[in-house]
Amino acid sequence: MRRKLRSPLPQRHGLDAVRLRTPAGTSWTTMRDHLVERLPRVDPARIDAMLREQRIVDRDGPIAPDAPYVPESFLWFHRDLPTEVPVPFEIGIVHRDDELVVVDKPHFLATIPRGQHIVETALVRLRRELGLPTLSPAHRLDRVTAGLLMFVVRPERRGAYQTLFRDRLVRKTYEAVARYDPQLALPRTARSRIVKERGVICAREEPGPVNAVTTVELLEHRSGPDGLRLGRYRLTPETGRTHQLRLHMSALGVPILGDDFYPVLTEKPLDDFRRPLQLLASSLEFTDPVSGEERSFRTRIALQSFTSYAAWAGSWSPS
């Protein structure tokens, strides 16, 4: 197996440098000309500045602004980072050893860099805070979902742990807080067909073969403010469709508190940390593919709305 070409640039802010491979053709006179065409979203003046500042390198070092085009070569550079809203909540370390890091991810923090969320992500934060530059996620949680998230320390072990999640060999449970409906018979198993189209924010249920299965159990219920009756639910997914738990709870008539997608999509600014989605990844259990031992992890987060609805509704604190 061919070894991955190592970047001559160190990580910056916990992020690897971008690597580009130039094509075999000779349509460009200089490397600069190729980069301008290759990176249409980057202002050509910015590319010129990066070349002057020696921020674009090949295997021999920085390339000059007038460096001739070299086909089938490699270039590395760090992208300019977007301005991000800081997520004002810490990541809790649940477990750490030579193979795994298991954390309690707070609400509003994305798992990995994507779109508007780059530095303010669990992966980038943990790489910096723990000094583990090769840390990688074994699975993902939605930005608005809190709870257990597992990372792999050693790159050579990544595939083994990611395969556990891919093949659904990890037993996962979630907790949620939603309205309590005494007419809703529980426990029950929700079964439906969920479709998520690329470029569309919300998923939907539609007729057809079932591809999403969730067991819903009521753990307890209590009275809330103004006559609101709240339930705390355990959700056990047998499948892993996008937004599956949120869709199934909404379809049962008890949408999860703080859900801005279901049943109605509501736009929410990225700096609004009020009323976090009351959905929590609460447990992970599996047979370790490396050691063979049984692993079991439990969250240390409690969903705030069930014990203090007023604090959840008015505070930025997600726990």
List the helix and strand counts (H, then E) for the chain.
7, 16
For residue 241, which phi and psi values (nearest 5 degrees)?
A: -75, 155
Q: Which residues contact 106 (CB under 8 A, 6 or more apart)?
A: 87, 89, 90, 91, 92, 146, 301, 318, 319
Annotated active-site residue 142? The verdict is: yes
Could you tell me the CA-to-CA distances from 127 to 12, 46, 163, 187 in Å, in that order?
11, 28, 22, 40
Task: Look at residues 160, 151, 95 and name the one whose alpha carbon lies nearest to residue 126.
Answer: 151
For residue 69, which phi and psi values (nearest 5 degrees)?
A: -70, 135
SS3 46: helix
Could you tell me the CA-to-CA distances from 140 to 47, 112, 146, 192 in Å, in that order?
33, 8, 11, 22
SS3 73: coil
Rounded Cα–Cα distance for residues 234 and 279 (Å) = 10
Query: Residue 282 has what DSSP assignment?
Result: E
Rounded Cα–Cα distance for residues 30 and 73 (Å) = 13
**What is the torsional sign of CA 188, 162, 137, 199?**
negative
Catalytic residue among 66, 97, 98, 142: 142
Give, rounded to a whole angstrom, the gap between the first and last alpha carbons of the chain: 46
- Write out the catalytic residue numbers: 142
